[in-house]
Amino acid sequence: MQVKRLGHVAICVKDVDRAAAFYQGLGMELAWKDGDWAYLKAGSDGLALLSPQYEQAGAHFGFILDDRAEMEAAYRELLGQNVHLTEIHEHRDGTASFYGRDPDGNWFEYLYEPPKVSPTV
CATH code assigned at 13:
3.10.180.10
Question: Is residue 81 assigned to a domain?
Answer: yes
**CA–CA gap between residue 90 and residue 25 (Å, rounded):** 31
Whether the predicted pLDDT of 30 surpasses 70: yes
Q: How many domains does the chain have?
A: 1
Question: Is residue 120 assigned to a domain?
Answer: no
Is this structure's pTM higher than 0.85? no
Question: Is residue 42 assigned to a domain?
Answer: yes
Q: How confident is the model at residue 40 (pLDDT cuts 50, 70, 90)?
A: very high
Domain limits at 26?
5-112
Least confident among 9-13, 38-42, 89-93, 113-117: 113-117
Question: Is residue 33 assigned to a domain?
Answer: yes
Q: How confident is the model at residue 117 (pLDDT cuts 50, 70, 90)?
A: low
The secondary element (H helix, E strand) that includes residue 76 is: helix 68-80
